[in-house]
Amino acid sequence: KDAAINLVEKLNPRDRISVIAFDHRAKVLIPNQPVDDVENIKKRINKLEADGGTAIDEGMKLALEEAAKGKKDTSSQIFLLTDGENEHGDNDRCLKLATMSSEYNITLNTLGFGTHWNQDVLEKIADTAGGALSYIAEPEEAVSEFGRLFTRVQSVCLTNAHLFLDLAENVRLAELKPLAQVAPDTIELPIEQEQGQPMVRLGDLMKEERVVLANLYIGQFSPGTQQIAAVKVRYDDPASGQEGLFSETIPVYAEVQQAYQPAPNQQVQKSILALAKYRQTQIAETKLQQGDRAGAATMLQTAAKTALQLGDDGGATVLQKSATQLQSGEELSEADRKKTRIVSKTILQDS
């Protein structure tokens, strides 16, 4: 409640807000309205009482309905906070609603509080709907975590962004997971096609840097500087009310050599390491689910080394701690698993 009230106090009268409460059922606590009576909104939030059960999909459905009422020429954001599994709901329905949220151009951020929520479901919801996954381990962290997300939301400039790739004739995308976002956090980006052209949805564009890594297979080219692709971004501009705008088309060049002379680019190397850390941790989690504790520990140790190469000391510490626990025969607690998932996707702020 403190975190929600703190967020409300940062809004201005031109903003709109809606609050949905959900336990074993969901209800609209505050219908979509302008933030012109802050004290009344705060009073209604203060009346919230915890009850048993969790029906995340019902909460998501109502949240989408309310957000849709005021989304014209705005950046629409949903913050989904839960402390439990979706025991009164349907996880597949959650993912369908997340897809619908993306189609409606409504960004859905997920925040897991405590240790009893399902990180797989909340990550998929956030990734699908272009949002961020956050972990609130202790109650006192709620205000700062909400604040961090709100600062990110405030920096949104453009929405509904899609990246288009126009590949040269003998260039193609890798077969498996060819595109991934690696900053500000790591997300596998599903490929779509529009008029035969590969495209990925980026969602909101913020002031902070967005980095996308593409894995391309390149055929034979003559030596010298060769254009291998061209990229452009389609986006909406809520400030002007314009939709379907295009950036300039940016050519992508490769320096083709007869005799290979390595000239590594530091930013590209860092991006590859960020994606490697995420995928190595994913493999470790899969091995752990299969009962292969030794294999999981080895992969977590590898991910920790990758994090160190990346300069992510905080992430390396968390990953190495989890690896050491498995090697010594200990179980990973739910808190450990959640920390591991979070550091695989991001670089810790205090690292």
Same domain, 120 and 205: no
Q: Where are the beta strands (DSSP E) in 92-223?
A: 106-113, 130-136, 156-167, 171-173, 179-183, 187-188, 192-194, 197-206, 211-214, 216-218
Specify if 16 maps to a domain.
yes
CATH number, residue 91: 3.40.50.410
Summary mean pLDDT of the chain: 94
Q: What band does 88 get if pLDDT is binned at 50, 70 and 90?
A: confident
Instruction: Please report which helix (H) or strand (E) contains residue 256, including its range.
Output: strand 250-256
Q: Is 236 inside any structural domain?
A: yes
Q: Which helix (H) or strand (E) holds 232?
A: strand 224-237
> What totals of helices (H) and strands (E) does the chain contain, helices first?
10, 16
Q: What is the pLDDT of residues 227-247, one digit of tens each?
A: 999 999 999 999 999 999 999
Last residue of a domain, one of 200, 221, 256: 256
Whether residues 177 and 117 share a domain: the answer is no
| Residue 301 sits in the same domain as residue 178 | no
Task: Express each pLDDT in 192-201 by its tens digit.
Answer: 999 999 999 9
- Record the tokens describing residue 128, joined without a space: 């699908």
Do 147 and 68 lie in one domain? The reply is yes
Residue 46 lies in a domain: yes
User: What's the mean pLDDT in 71-97?
Assistant: 90
Domain assignment present for residue 252? The answer is yes
- 155-188 confidence digits (pLDDT tens): 999 999 999 999 999 999 999 999 999 999 999 9
Residue 351: inside a domain, yes or no? no
Model pTM score:
0.92
The total number of structural domains in the chain stands at 3
CATH code, domain carrying 216 = 2.60.40.3670
Picking from 64-73, 82-91, 211-220, 222-231, which range would have the lowest pLDDT averaged per residue?
A: 82-91
DSSP for 46-94, please give it. Answer: HT----S---HHHHHHHHHHHHHTT-TTS-EEEEEEESS--TTS-HHHH
The H-or-E segment that residue 244 falls in is strand 242-246
Question: Is residue 47 very low, low, confident or very high in pLDDT (cuts 50, 70, 90)?
Answer: confident
Read off the pLDDT band of 48 (50, 70, 90): confident
- End position of a domain, from candidates 154, 180, 196: 154
Residue 163 CB coordination number (10 Å): 21
Q: What range does the domain containing 314 cover?
A: 266-345
User: Rounded to whole angstroms, what are the CA distances from 164 to 75, 184, 199, 207, 235?
Assistant: 22, 20, 5, 20, 11
Question: Phi then psi for 255, rounded to 5 degrees?
Answer: -95, 105
Look at residues 154, 172, 204 and tell me which one is the last residue of a structural domain: 154
- At 215-231, the pLDDT tens digits run 999 999 999 999 999 99
